[in-house]
């Protein structure tokens, strides 16, 4: 017990310079933590974050591998997806229906997507990797139906990071769509042909005037019937007919499956270990300073400069461990 206390606590035995607070000890602490971070960082992990473009590329890769149409990126769908993700972060909810009872469809129309044949929406939260999110969507029947729907032609996806329900995480909105085809504005009627110049004829002899014929009825152009915009739903069948009265939430329930990737465990382990080590070292520093102050010890080395160096080393290592 005396050896342990002598290693950590300043006393006359160790000349008020415990080995635990020596330059060599701190150098070893720093090297160990850096090596630990390097080792844990080499554990297998596909990617360190969820990224919008990567997700859209992976969706197209899954579709292409199944001989499905590759989805074109649409700026209106991306705008609406970004608004939906930001709204979920701002108002702390995760659902297809916002707190006001609205789906994302009005946002899509307001973003300028125009008349559409079909729309779909996938949501995700708390994922660590893009690969994990795509796998989870493929494992969910309703999300898989959207991801691999043969009628979809365009997509827009935005993954945003922010403070959500007390934690920093990502929320992703993936929108799919196909605009209505064959809906065209009817052509304008042709302009009337110019009347030919009348050829003068000799005036006939005056006679009883004939009654003027009734005016010909003006032809009425048929008015085009406005196209009915189908109700947007996420379908599970492979036909192009929308499901008229489908329950959207039942077809595409929000998916909340956090993926605990190895690289996240590695970072958490290194943070916990360093926090424990830092707390121990700071505690020893505090006890050492109090003992030296009480005994007013005079030693050859300047403890103030030694402690300052040690604290600076702690800060440096903490930056490397937490943010590197």
Asked if residues 78 and 160 have their Cβ atoms less than 8 Å apart, the reply is no
- Statement: residue 269 has pLDDT above 60: yes
Domain 52-179: CATH superfamily, name plus number: CAP (3.40.33.10)
Sign of CA dihedral 258, 262, 267, 269: positive
Main-chain dihedrals φ then ψ at residue 39, nearest 5 degrees: -65, -45
Express each pLDDT in 174-215 by its tens digit: 999 999 875 443 344 455 555 445 444 444 444 333 333 333
Mean pLDDT confidence for 302-323: 60
Distance, first Cα to last Cα, the chain:
38
Band (pLDDT 50/70/90 cuts) for residue 102 is very high
Mean pLDDT confidence for 296-321: 58
CA dihedral 308, 313, 314, 317 (to 10 degrees): 160
100-106-110 Cα angle (round to 5): 130
Q: pTM of this prediction? A: 0.49
- Statement: residue 90 has pLDDT above 90: yes
Task: Look at residue 310 in the predicted model and tell me its pLDDT.
Answer: 65
Band (pLDDT 50/70/90 cuts) for residue 323 is low
**CB burial of residue 294 (10 Å; 0-12, 13-18, 19+):** exposed
Asked if residues 256 and 94 have their Cβ atoms less than 8 Å apart, the reply is yes
CA distance 318 to 311: 11
Task: Look at residue 17 in the predicted model and tell me its pLDDT.
Answer: 73
CA distance 238 to 108: 23
Express each pLDDT in 144-161 by its tens digit: 999 999 999 999 999 999
Task: Look at residue 37 in the predicted model and tell me its pLDDT.
Answer: 64
């Amino acid at each position: 017990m005396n050896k342990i206390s002598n290693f950590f606590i300043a006393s006359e035995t160790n000349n008020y310079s415990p080995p635990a607070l020596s330059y060599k000890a701190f150098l070893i602490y720093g090297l160990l933590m850096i090596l630990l971070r390097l080792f844990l960082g080499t554990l297998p992990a596909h990617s360190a974050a969820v990224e919008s473009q990567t997700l859209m590329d992976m969706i197209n890769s899954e579709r292409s591998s199944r001989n499905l149409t590759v989805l074109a990126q649409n700026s209106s769908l991306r705008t609406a997806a970004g608004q939906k993700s930001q709204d979920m972060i701002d108002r702390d909810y995760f659902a297809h229906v916002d707190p006001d009872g609205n789906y994302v469809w009005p946002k899509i129309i307001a973003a300028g997507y125009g008349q559409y044949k079909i729309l779909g929406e996938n949501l995700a939260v708390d994922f660590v990797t893009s690969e994990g999110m795509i796998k989870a969507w493929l494992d969910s029947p309703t999300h898989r139906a959207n991801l691999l729907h043969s009628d979809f032609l365009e997509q827009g996806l935005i993954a945003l990071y922010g403070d959500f329900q007390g934690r920093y995480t990502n929320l992703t909105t993936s929108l799919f769509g196909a605009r209505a085809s064959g809906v065209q504005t009817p052509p304008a009627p042709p302009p009337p042909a110019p009347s030919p110049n009348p050829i003068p004829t000799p005036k006939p002899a005056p006679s009883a005037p004939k009654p003027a014929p009734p005016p010909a009825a003006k032809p009425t152009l048929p008015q085009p019937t406005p196209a009915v915009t189908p109700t947007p739903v996420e379908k599970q069948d492979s036909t192009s007919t929308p499901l008229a009265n489908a329950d959207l939430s039942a077809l595409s329930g929000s998916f909340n499956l956090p993926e605990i990737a190895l690289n996240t465990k590695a970072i958490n382990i290194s943070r916990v270990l360093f926090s424990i080590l830092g707390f121990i070292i700071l505690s020893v520093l505090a006890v050492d300073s109090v003992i030296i102050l009480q005994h007013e010890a005079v030693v050859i080395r300047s403890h103030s400069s030694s402690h300052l160096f040690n604290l600076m080393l702690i800060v440096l290592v903490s930056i490397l461990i937490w943010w590197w």
